[in-house]
Structure 1
Amino acid sequence: MSAVDPLLSRRPWHDLPPALAPLLRARLPELTTEMVQAIRREVRGYRQPIGSAVAHDLAEAVRLAATQFTELVEEPDAPQQHYVPRFKRLGRLEYLSGRGMDGLQAAYRIGARVACRRYMDVAREAAFSGEIAVPLSEAVLTHIHAMAEGSVAGFEEARAGAADEVLRTRRLLAARLLARNRDPLAEPLPDLARRAAWPLPERVRCAVLPASTDLTAVHEDVLRVSRGGEVHLVAPDDSLLTVLEGTEVAMGPSVLLNEAWVSLHCARLGRRLGRLRAEDHLAELHLLHGSPIGTLLTDQVLEPLRTLPPGKAERLTDTLDALLTSGGRTAPEVAAALGIHPQTARNRLRQLAALYGDKLDDPAFRFDVQLALRSRSVRRSLLP
């Protein structure tokens, strides 16, 4: 049974004289106009220009309410099922228009107030007994309550349907972002993101968890997709994944949006190797699994040089390479390797020391740099 039927089954209209119905029907145009004016005056959200979609929806809702009420007075036992979808439509329109139910509920209350007063005026003018006031008021309130219940049901159905569609679209968006090879005929990524209500960030971080992990605490802005016993996450902000600390989550490094698949690749490799924070083990993962991670490692170790002019950054990169491959790590050795004056080498070494600090004395870091620079050299040698 619909949400409206139980309320209308009270049938307070049995206590009203059917002869009142044609009198109300004759006055409907002026009655509905007065109700619309009162609602527009008291509810800010409905103060839209006459002829606008909002004004049209309001006038239609008031006309619908007054027409059905008149029919109920005339035939209290007549079926009302055909009105149910119309009530629901009013709530659905509120949701699709980006409004909440507060405005419509207020409009119903104002409409009921005006209706009670004006219906009583019609009854008095027709010389009906004053005893009609109680059943007439009860009938108006019961009717408005039924309309409100139906509209709430339509609003909630629209919201649930939209939420389901957003979730489905977000799963599709996650799958698209994590795909290494993009379909050139697929929906443009910005359009898909807009439908998913997910603003495209510049960088993302991916994570992998067992399918059995409880994700109720994970922020709704973290995309997720289930694949082969795993859940893959795409987070636009590192802070959104902090709730997973202490679980079996394997984190990939932060990457540019179009390289999300690389972050996922790292996270999955790290999980298999027991390295739950992949960015701390890029060199190890690269040695085992190849070039995409080598690119990340190079970006990581050369990060301090990123803000420098390209020419200067390239010269310091070459100097860093010469420094780490020289036996004694002295300025003359670096100068000889690069074919530059020793004083120039000393100046560059001082700049590197300022940029990297004590890291240059860390064997693990020196290894990472050498590995990254070798990978960089190989990748460059393969370019046409």
Structure 2
Amino acid sequence: MANERAERDLGLVTGLALDPEIVAALQVGLPRFAELTVAAVMVEVPSYSRAFSGRMGKTIEGAVRMALGALVQIAARAEGSDLRSPLPAALDGAYELGRGEARNGRSMDALLAAYRVGARAAWREMATTVVERGLPALTVARFAELAFAFIDELSAASIAGHADERATTGQVRQHYLDQLGQNLLAGKPEEALLSSAERATWQAPDTLTAVLLPLAQTRGLMSRFGQATLHITEELPGMEATDPSAVLLIPDMDGANRATLLRLLEDRHAIVGPAREWTRVRSSYQRALRTREIVRGDIAAPIDTNEHLVELILTADLEAAEDLRNRVLAPLAEIRASSAERLGETLRSWLLHQGQRDLVAADLYVHAQTVRYRMTQLRELYGDRLSDPQTVLELIVALSIPSTPDNDEVT
């Protein structure tokens, strides 16, 4: 495509039918033109001062000499002649130069600056040569027009090569980063994770923190965190494929940095797992998933899973939790559901406030005498077991387990 555009544009400035003696002089001067061009670029474009030194400098000189040779071939042809034959090789070379510059990490701005400087240096030497040999002023002007049109097309080809290489490299790296994120969430062995990180050229942090949030709310978040942040949107373990959620694995947000993380997420409906060594971030992700299960309703602000550790522990084995509730709350199952609910909440508050009646009354918004009456009922139901430390522990745990539809009648 670039070649076709170049052929069309350069066709506007046709061959100049230069005198064979002038063409021969230009061809003889090509090595000198190329050497002076490279030297000018090294002086005026700092990015290339070292890159073009030594053997690389000679290689670049050769490429410049070939490009200038193509220009001379075009100029030597008769007006209206077919310009295609010298162009493809020159444009292909410029395209590959752009790709190489992208691989070497140099920006397109640097390469375009090199083209501008190089074009001036090359044209100064070539113009001197043709003027000394008596080329008419009008033809010199047309030659200049041809030369700079030619350089513009080389620049365009290099831009295309640079962009294509960056796009390809970016796509490949993003694929490896996605793969790394999925491997981390899947809990792959450390050796596999190290290999995956190396393929993605990902600099591993000390810790990662998993953040679970709606996919639609991830827009703009990556810029708030470091470049090592991983963004996983597909094949999330433990989630349905249709679930519109995403996971961010954010580096080094442990300790005092956790408050900063929560602040940066304050406008998102996020669930923030604990910080873990980067190879163990799967446990942070699982913690976020578990917290989402026990936190009901809409998430209006970031949820710190560290604030829900008791609920997470109590619901780690739901069947065991239900068995415990059924056993230790069996006396309450013998009375009306409404009474059982009131007595259950009174018993929980009584145990947590260590029997301080006034504090229990304030907690439940009832009179202290009401608390006394209810505790009398509970002592009748439980007898001496309310003084047994093991029973007290089991009651506190059972009454602290979040309600489910199956046990709502008790709590």
Q: TM-score, normalised by structure 2?
A: 0.63
C-alpha contact 1:222 1:240 (8 A) present in aligned 2: no
* C-alpha separation in 1, matches of 2:207 and 2:41: 48
* C-alpha separation in 1, matches of 2:262 and 2:158: 38
Match of 2:308 among 247, 270, 281: 281
Q: Which residue of 2 aligns with 1:36?
A: 38
Match of 1:177 among 176, 184, 192: 184
> Higher Cα Rg: structure 1 or 2?
2
Deviation per CA, 1:137-173: give whole Å up to 9, x if none. Answer: 1111111111111111111111122221221121111
C-alpha contact 1:4 1:146 (8 A) present in aligned 2: no
Q: Any unmatched runs of 5+ in structure 1?
A: 291-326, 328-366, 372-384
Q: Which residue of 2 aligns with 1:260?
A: 281
| Structure 1 counterpart of 2:11, one-letter code | R
| 1:102 partner SS | helix
After superposition, residues 203-282 of structure 1 pair within 5 angstroms as: 203-219=207-223, 220-225=227-232, 226=234, 227=236, 228=241, 229=243, 230-238=245-253, 239=260, 242-274=263-295, 276-282=303-309
After superposition, residues 65-214 of structure 1 pair within 5 angstroms as: 65-75=67-77, 77-79=82-84, 80-182=87-189, 186=192, 189=194, 191-214=195-218
In structure 2, the CA distance between the partners of 1:202 and 1:267, relative to structure 1 (3 Å rule), is same
C-alpha contact 2:294 2:311 (8 A) present in aligned 1: no
Shift of 1:15: 5.8
| 1:206 partner SS | strand
In structure 2, the CA distance between the partners of 1:12 and 1:132, relative to structure 1 (3 Å rule), is farther
Deviation per CA, 1:91-144: give whole Å up to 9, x if none. Answer: 111111121223322221122112222222222233221222211111111111
Shift of 1:57: 4.8
After superposition, residues 305-324 of structure 1 pair within 5 angstroms as: none
After superposition, residues 328-339 of structure 1 pair within 5 angstroms as: none
Deviation per CA, 1:327-377: give whole Å up to 9, x if none. Answer: 9xxxxxxxxxxxxxxxxxxxxxxxxxxxxxxxxxxxxxxx9xx99xxxxxx
* C-alpha separation in 2, matches of 1:278 and 1:94: 46
Q: Which residue of 2 aligns with 1:14?
A: 14
* C-alpha separation in 1, matches of 2:116 and 2:53: 24
| 1:17 partner SS | coil
In structure 2, the CA distance between the partners of 1:37 and 1:6, relative to structure 1 (3 Å rule), is closer
* C-alpha separation in 2, matches of 1:214 and 1:136: 55
| Structure 2 counterpart of 1:205, one-letter code | T
C-alpha contact 2:204 2:228 (8 A) present in aligned 1: no
In structure 2, the CA distance between the partners of 1:240 and 1:140, relative to structure 1 (3 Å rule), is farther
In structure 2, the CA distance between the partners of 1:57 and 1:269, relative to structure 1 (3 Å rule), is farther
Shift of 1:265: 0.5
| Structure 2 counterpart of 1:26, one-letter code | V
* C-alpha separation in 2, matches of 1:22 and 1:289: 87
Number of corresponding residues: 292
* C-alpha separation in 1, matches of 2:208 and 2:190: 21
* C-alpha separation in 1, matches of 2:44 and 2:4: 26
| 2:309 partner SS | helix
| Structure 1 counterpart of 2:197, one-letter code | A
